[in-house]
Structure 1
Amino acid sequence: MWALRVGGSSRLGGLTALLLAAAVASVGPARTAQAETEVDVALVLAVDISFSMDTDEQELQRAGFVEALRSPEVHEAIDRGLIGQIAVTYVEWAGVADRHVIVPWTLVDGPESAVRFAEDLEFERIHRARRTSISNAIEFGLEMLEESGVRALRQVIDISGDGPNNEGRWVTVARDRAIERGVTINGLPIMLKRPGYLDIHNLDEYYIDCVIGGPGAFVVPVRAPEEFVDAIRTKLVLEIAGEAPDEPLIELAQVDVPTDCLIGERQWEHRNRF
């Protein structure tokens, strides 16, 4: 499991360009004739809409996915896949009672279908809801994969959010269930604000230790508004290509205490106790 950190330094553009070029180049030869229901990857884009996300952050998040799906880099990655098409769905989640399919399963086989998906997504209303259940988002992603109606070479759940799990099953239980089924979970931790009452400062480490898993799993944190499009585009290209960096771009700091995967639950309990 790799930590692909997209930071705010001047190296961002160069590093991203190299990663995109490497990922697209490594996807493989041009497509071969396959049945319509076969895809290179079935991809669940699972997006946090909890109240901890400000409306401007939610709009930036939505716009980031829209622009990434319109990008030539993503189109080229799809085209150079072994089969040459992917299946993708966009869902929003918050607590255990809030999960919505915004754009249903769609076959994307090139620029036109990718742009249509982006247009469908762009004009849908953004919901908001309380609590944060990453575990429920993972379980919903597994349900969606079962209902995809395609035969996928790979299955990926792409989780984006700005806080730790604080409702539902333990996130590690849901993660391990996905790993047992051969599903990869990648993470997009959103770290735009100083940690608040229910947020944590090391959300990227939390995602690495507690959320992501499976073959080639990686994390791309977003630390500034202007990074959204670049980070999401990079992440989608790597997911479509089935690639992750050979080595982490930035090593995690060595700490004496491991990440507390129940920190969100403890914070919520403390909030309601006082």
Structure 2
Amino acid sequence: MSASAAPPWPARRLQPTAAAPWGPTLWASLLCGVALLLAAPDVRAQTPVDLALVLAVDSSASVDESEFALQRGGMAQAFRDPEVIKAIESGPFKRIAVTVVEWAGHADQAIDIPWTVVDGAAGALDLADRIDGLERQILTGATSIAGALSFANSLLLSHPFEADRLVIDLSGDGRNNQGPPVETIRKGVVAQGVTINGLAIVNEHPTLNYYFEDRVIGGTAAFVEVANDYGDYPRAIRRKLIREIRTMNISAPSVPTSQETARAWRPHATELATLPAASERW
């Protein structure tokens, strides 16, 4: 079997517009849409998956073309990996749903690959080929982890499947510098049953994994994977996908325990306190 895509999503999130008057025509259109929705078959019930996974890839100004290519190539390589395929095939339904998005500033998100069912080796290899062929849509921008989480959450809440688990897999090389506080968004996302995992690329900011641990990740069995630099991204995303799909640890964990994290975080608290909330350093 091969990967099959759900109906295409818009390339970018629509921006709010001025409210239109609620006249008879608008009400008629709304009621017609509701009727069609109620009459439509229950797609979620027809397509159960073990996991609905949003792969959110950093495309901000701190990521150059070669670094973005390493993220893209690392994801593709991971879905060709036998252990990743084995993890997919080991679930009760033997399939997962995946969507790939880019993120940068608070209003800058793009869907690279719409929701796609990956149902074994053929599906995983097909998805890998599609990832290899992606062209970058967002060329620059701030680093809004808050915006990325909000966008990813909206995709999970409207995905066309019946999923046992909902997971956001966010990769990034910096701290939130635009939009609302990450902790506020995290709280709302996790409250809806979503798990947020992080892949911290620490080549520019060696303490980024502690920031992700403290402020970004959340939900059931949430964890942070570390890539030492973009060249290390393929190893890290492979390991992270296996762990997310299997929902179990593989070999030794790559992140400190909560007590170790707390001890390691304290020396960096002063550093973070001196940074303005919208510092372009991050």
Normalising by structure 1, what TM-score? 0.78
Q: Distance in 1 between matches of 2:274 and 2:166?
A: 27
Partner of 2:187: 176
**Take 1:263 and 1:166, find their aligned partners in 2: how far apart are those partners?**
14
Of 105, 108, 114, which aligns to 1:104?
Answer: 114
Gaps (5+ residues) in structure 1? 1-33
Alpha-carbon distance, 1:236 to partner: 0.5
- 1:269 and 1:69, CA in 2 relative to 1: closer, same or farther beyond 3 A? closer
Corresponding pairs, count = 232
Q: Contact between 1:166 and 1:264, CA under 8 Å: does it hold in 2?
A: no
Q: Answer yes or no: is 1:239 the counterpart of 2:205.
A: no
Query: Measured at CA, do residues 72 and 261 of structure 1 come closer, stay the same or move farther in structure 2, by a change above 3 Å?
Result: farther
2:146 is aligned with 1:141: no
Rounded to whole Å, the distance in 1 between the matches of 2:65 and 2:273 is: 25
* Aligned CA-pair RMSD: 2.5
- Using the TM superposition, give the Cα deviation of residue 265 of structure 1 relative to its aligned residue in structure 2, in angstroms: 7.2
Do structure 1's residue 71 and structure 2's residue 76 form an aligned pair?
no
Equivalent of 1:162 in 173, 177, 188: 173
The residue that corresponds to 2:224 in the other structure is: 219
Relative to structure 2, which stretch is displaced further, 201-210 or 224-233?
224-233
Q: Which runs of 5+ in 2 are unaligned?
A: 1-43
Matching of residues 1-274 of structure 1 within 5 Å: 36-127=46-137, 128-192=139-203, 195=204, 200-244=205-249, 248-249=253-254, 251=256, 252=260, 254-255=263-264, 256=266, 259=269, 266=276, 268=278
What is the CA-CA distance between 1:227 and the residue it aligns to?
2.2
- Higher RCO (CA 8 Å, separation ≥ 6 residues): 1
| Cα pair 1:64 1:228 within 8 Å, conserved | yes
Alpha-carbon distance in 2 for matches of 1:45, 1:102: 10
Query: What SS class does the counterpart of residue 220 from structure 1 fall into?
Result: strand
Distance between the aligned counterparts of 1:44 and 1:264, measured in 2?
A: 33
Q: 4+ runs of 1 displaced by more than 4 Å?
A: 245-250, 257-265
Q: Against the structure 1 CA distance between its residues 176 and 267, is the aligned structure 2 distance closer, same or farther, given a 3 Å change threshold?
A: closer
The Cα offsets for residues 53-78 of structure 1, whole Å up to 9 and x where unpaired, read as 12211111110001001111111111
Could you say what secondary structure the match of 2:227 adopts? coil
Contact 2:201/2:233 (<8 A) preserved? no
SS in 2 for 1:66: helix
Note if contact 2:59-2:102 (Cα within 8 Å) is conserved in structure 1: yes
Question: 2-side partners of 1:149 and 1:131: how far apart?
Answer: 31
Which amino acid letter does the alignment assign opposite residue 66 of structure 2?
A: D
Structure 2 distance, partners of 1:173, 1:265, is 19
Match of 1:221, SS?
strand
**What's the secondary structure of 2:174's corresponding residue?**
coil
Which deviates the most, 245-254 or 91-100?
A: 245-254
Offset at residue 246 of structure 1 (A)? 9.5
Q: 1:250 to 1:265 in 2, by over 3 A?
A: closer
CA distance change for structure 1 residues 264 and 243 in 2, over 3 Å: closer, same or farther?
farther
Q: Go from structure 1 to structure 2 and tell me whether the alpha carbon gap of 1:224 and 1:270 turns closer, same or farther (over 3 Å shift).
A: closer
The percentage of counterpart residues that share the same residue type is 41
Give the conservation status (yes or no) of the 8 Å contact 2:45–2:161.
no
Instruction: Give the deviation of 1:92 after TM superposition.
Output: 0.3
| Aligned counterparts of 1:60 and 1:245: Cα–Cα separation in 2 | 23
**Superposed CA offset, 1:161-210 (max 9, x none):** 10000111110011111111111000011122xx3xxxx43101000000
Greater mean deviation of Cα atoms: 258-267 or 64-73: 258-267
**CA apart distance, 1:247:** 7.7
